[in-house]
Structure 1
């Protein structure tokens, strides 16, 4: 699999596509972040074992390379670390999200925009990429592939939009989810129509065939029938680690081809023996195993078809089960992906196999395909860093037998009564604002099998880079010192590295600010004044104070927001700092009218409104307030507006 990924990367200039989508059933974040992301960021396959790319280096490169992973919600995916990519789980009503594809888009070595696709049997895990016997195919994306992929990507985009839509977003504020998942999917959908391989170059490519559930698919043809292609086949070799209703699938294949087919089945070694399918005695088939490394676990899935004058090889994610190949014939309908190659009549795959005697004691079907049981509900949880709330959506299956569900998420718990209500929509606020992402949750329920625990992933919404751990949190005292040292016409040496004013990650690995909150208002006003004068100087017109440099408004804003505000004094201090910061932002926007400001002015104003709601009751209850203004107490909101006006006049004074 690593070689296949390297092959795909080699199709793009400098080995760097612009957008990459991975899909998998199971997902190991530790494997993906230690092995796959470094390859995407330019580490040679031969050097990967000894590579030690730092998190900071990876995140800088991943800011340019957009990566998204989609996996199934039922397979206990491992929560991601603090690297810059998107991870989304998806759920089907009656089935599993099982395709293993990689889709890349970017500028190819031909200097034109291209897309490349791989379809495999391997999950994004160590066993899939380094232990099991797997299979993978690679192809440039032509019209047939693009048309087949379009409904799948459109469905994934709808899934991503539904997660983001759970949070109540204020008008004029565009929500941003971790990894820009919707943007990546939107771009890939658009490029399917524009960057496909020209028709005159699309000869002899494998065709792509997907199994999609009823709510997604546009064709009623089953994946099995699509792979058979309506041709007359004499022989079929099936490689699959899992089996279900093999007699029914064989009968369907023979009905499609209108004749008998000699089937040869290749089971996988599992435990002490091979996992044979359940078959009646009247259904004669032969069995085979691999010649090389017969004890190695075979996770590959393949269908090899032989006719009178031609042969076809089909490889990908689909086991020889009804859930994968014959939708609507059983309880489950998976999403699967297969590539179909037409090979020459002289192509001989029999040399890699040898005959195997059947052991009836080891015969057993597994309609669940070795997967964890499907949870009897679909759950989505989002944390919005802007509103500081979890948004939870829970839909319980109509035939679910349990009475209650217990949600555990970070410091919060919530019990749902599922007897009276099957749809639940709630928002939960942590007792204190989160300092680090809560990336997973648990749903606990009782079933006939005992206590069950479903672990799901939390979507992060409207988070800043330092909140997600991509960058260390800036410390206000250090940022102020840096800004106070600005001199027009000079470049402070601490600015050249681009990370001045941030915490030392080694001394503070948790990203917490170990110093006391900074309320040096004189120093704060001095720093913003220095910033205004520095960026007003014509010699610095090419520098952007509205970007993310260490002497930008953004860095100062993040340093202010990183300070705790649990006490009234801290809330008032933050209010004063943000009032000055908002005015400074407006001043710098006049100097750089073409620049897109970070943060947006509305974001600062929203935080100030939140602080006003907390400060106003404290002011009204204060004896000093009453003594100063009695008997005619002013409206606290009007007083704060006057205060901000006076503050602005002071900053404008010479």
Structure 2
């Protein structure tokens, strides 16, 4: 078992010097924002140029991944427990699978496929397997005390014998329990036709895939019995943050008997940062305290967990939660992984971990301490009797580009549910809408739903006796068309500067604009009050109009139709759709919304608004039919501006403004600036 500063550092070491082509994660709890802002960059090999602002960083990664050719973009799958609500909304293109099983989907596993240069010109392909106690959350990867292990890289053509059987079984099981049909990592593994090697790795991977009485204890006994030497008077040490909800004493007695232990020491979880309160219920403490087979224990001084979990002094040390799970027979065998000391973990949940030979030495020593209070308020995963997994599963896709939802039968579907009637209740109006299977559905309210959550609640009905509600996790596609939060949208002048710096191309292929974006976002959030505000400082209106003209002309050229090259024409058409139809940091639709909604000190200058609106209308009209809605809105804003803020300006002068700064740059001689300065000044 290796000690790392954080699990992030461990993953960095695993992928160093190689390209990650595929990565699979399983987890109980999942935080999308943390995963996308902090783990996905590690899979790309570098965080250079990435913003420290999580929202901007996720936007950077979204643009970068969407701009990558499909064969270069890492394929990522994340499997999570469907009953754990704290997930967040995905912004990045990966496959998020929500799994419902008889118990908790609790195993924490990472499998990555790596390509590196072996000097022959052909990439060398290796896989690395990792497993431990850490959830895919900020606490799991950065804050908690966890146990984790990564194997050495191995070839799929020669998977170490002590990894192969359970790894192949687990990956096949994941496919079978996932409602989603999209499995790029599992497909890559299957395509490699994995074969076992006669050699072993010294680490025995174990995956516990479904309810089975005595399954964990049977594997533990098997591992103990396979050893050449066996100790007399066997002791068992357990480190676990969670326990059985009830009948804990009998459970401990059964474990001791099954493993033929004379002593069972169980770590007493206490919060030394909070008066030494016990992190369990009083009933759990008393049940084990009264058990004849077990005794409460503290961490042995000098042991591998003592200094981290219970330091001698807590001065200037941040509070840390010990989430590690270790079950060991000193001198014989150690198991680390996701398994808590509970019936659900031993017999029901999906769990995973590694068996290792143990080097001996005590990690725990008996304690007679009694906590002065008990703080546990979270049941051990899978121990809650109220959890039900009986609802039907469906596979659903929402395409941000077309705004279409499609619900289909799941990969592991019970055929009778294909006859069920499905309806969706709009959260605000409470109106219902039927959602037929395998039929595209477009509904404006769905957009608001998927902006805020990755799921949709569907009412299903087979008969009066069989009906209910099921939560469907929705795979979201074309995420570069997904509206971004308001706080990540720029003011109009910042967008103009952005187009100039990217020469009218999308920001996904550029590194330079991001610092400017962050500066403007900080300004808008009043984080950086000294940052420059509003338009760049120019001598007169002509200089500012030149600034506007250059930005719009570059953008227009990138979108301009009329090429004979089919591939290039399609690329330009897609770019036009993006700028005219999406609510992104750098889109025309976002700029128009800014001009429409900003007021007071934040309002864009009326003369510049007049010219910008004509530019937007002109570009939108060049791209029917996708540009027609935006052209109509721009035209309405032009008329509104004429009737309000420009009400006192003569029509002739406004007409001159709308043509003088819209044409090709060579269409206006230098004399225009001299002869028309008075007219422009009058317009202002």
Q: TM-score, normalised by structure 1?
A: 0.58
Identify which of 545, 566, 573 aligns with 2:568: 545
Q: CA-to-partner distance for each residue in 1:469-528, whole Å, 9 max, x for gaps?
A: 69x99xxxxxxxxxxxxxxxxxx965698769x999789999xxxxxxxxxxxx99x943
Instruction: Note if 1:555 corresponds to 2:575.
Output: yes
Helix, strand or coil at the partner of 1:74? coil
Q: How does 1:201-600 map to 2 (within 5 A)?
A: 202-203=200-201, 205-214=202-211, 222-229=215-222, 230-231=224-225, 234-244=234-244, 245-254=247-256, 256-257=258-259, 259-269=260-270, 272-275=277-280, 276-277=284-285, 278-279=287-288, 281=290, 283-290=292-299, 291=301, 292=306, 293-294=309-310, 296-306=320-330, 310-326=331-347, 333-344=348-359, 347-348=360-361, 350=362, 352-357=363-368, 359=370, 366=379, 368=381, 374=387, 377=391, 380=394, 382-385=397-400, 388-391=403-406, 413=430, 429-431=442-444, 434=447, 437=451, 439-441=453-455, 458-463=473-478, 465-467=480-482, 494=504, 527-529=560-562, 531-532=563-564, 535=565, 545=568, 548=571, 552-559=572-579
Cα separation, partners in 2 of 1:576 and 1:56, compared to 1, 3 Å: closer
In the alignment, the residues of structure 1 paired with residue 5 and residue 569 of structure 2 have an alpha-carbon distance, to the nearest angstrom, of: 40
In the alignment, the residues of structure 1 paired with residue 82 and residue 9 of structure 2 have an alpha-carbon distance, to the nearest angstrom, of: 28
Q: TM-score, normalised by structure 2?
A: 0.56
Q: How does 1:51-200 map to 2 (within 5 A)?
A: 54-55=57-58, 57-59=60-62, 62=65, 63=68, 64-92=73-101, 94-108=102-116, 112-140=124-152, 142-160=160-178, 162-163=179-180, 181-191=182-192, 193=194, 199-200=198-199
Q: How far 1:356 moved relative to its partner?
A: 1.7
Helix, strand or coil at the partner of 1:465? helix
Work out whether residues 238 and 266 of structure 1, in 8 Å CA contact, stay in contact via their aligned partners in 2.
Answer: yes
Work out whether residues 13 and 107 of structure 1, in 8 Å CA contact, stay in contact via their aligned partners in 2.
Answer: no
Q: How far 1:458 moved relative to its partner?
A: 4.1
Cα separation, partners in 2 of 1:318 and 1:294, compared to 1, 3 Å: same
Instruction: Note if 1:40 corresponds to 2:52.
Output: no
Work out whether residues 66 and 184 of structure 1, in 8 Å CA contact, stay in contact via their aligned partners in 2.
Answer: yes
Q: How far 1:427 moved relative to its partner?
A: 8.0
- Equivalent pairs counted in the alignment come to 475
In the alignment, the residues of structure 1 paired with residue 176 and residue 621 of structure 2 have an alpha-carbon distance, to the nearest angstrom, of: 39
Unaligned runs of 5+ in 1: 165-180, 327-332, 398-404, 418-422, 446-453, 474-491, 511-522, 537-543, 565-572, 582-654
Q: How far 1:120 moved relative to its partner?
A: 1.4
In the alignment, the residues of structure 1 paired with residue 124 and residue 477 of structure 2 have an alpha-carbon distance, to the nearest angstrom, of: 34
Q: How far 1:106 moved relative to its partner?
A: 1.3
| Structure 2 partner of 1:631 | none
Q: How far 1:437 moved relative to its partner?
A: 4.2
Cα separation, partners in 2 of 1:100 and 1:228, compared to 1, 3 Å: same
Q: CA-to-partner distance for each residue in 1:385-405, whole Å, 9 max, x for gaps?
A: 57744456899x9xxxxxxx9
| Structure 2 partner of 1:540 | none
| Structure 1 partner of 2:607 | none
In the alignment, the residues of structure 2 paired with residue 425 and residue 359 of structure 1 have an alpha-carbon distance, to the nearest angstrom, of: 59
Unaligned runs of 5+ in 2: 155-159, 312-319, 415-421, 460-468, 490-501, 525-555, 583-587, 590-618, 628-684
RMSD, aligned α-carbons:
5.4
Cα separation, partners in 2 of 1:527 and 1:37, compared to 1, 3 Å: closer
Cα separation, partners in 2 of 1:135 and 1:370, compared to 1, 3 Å: farther
